Amino acid sequence: MIDLIVDLLGYAGALLILITLFLTRKYYVKSQWVAIGGCLMLTLYGYLKDADAVMVLSIFWIGISLYNLLRSRTEKNVSR
């Protein structure tokens, strides 16, 4: 049962990442927050499954999303 929950966590995180690809153009800032949520789920999934590559990629993606959020605060033409 725990394995099923962990797998569902991984699928949910991946789905959130895919959703961000559709949101990016119109809702840039919201898409970055969705990406952070999805990456946090994938990081936890990678930790629970001992999948280091998934964890590392997700942590880098969180960093990129946080950078983009900080950068978007100074730009005026960003869709919120």
- Residue 6 counted as domain residue: yes
Our CA angle for 14, 71, 9, nearest 5°, is 15
Q: How many helices (H) and strands (E) does the chain have?
A: 3, 0
Residue 24, C-beta contacts closer than 8 angstroms, at least 6 positions apart: 31
Q: What total of structural domains would you count in the chain?
A: 1
- Residue 79 counted as domain residue: no
pTM beyond 0.75: the answer is yes
Residue span of the structural domain in which 41 resides: 2-73
Q: Output the tens digit of pLDDT for each of the chain's 80 residues.
A: 888 999 999 999 999 998 888 887 788 888 899 999 999 999 999 999 999 999 999 999 999 999 989 988 887 666 66
For the chain, the 3-state helix, strand and coil shares in percent, each to the nearest 5, are 80, 0, 20
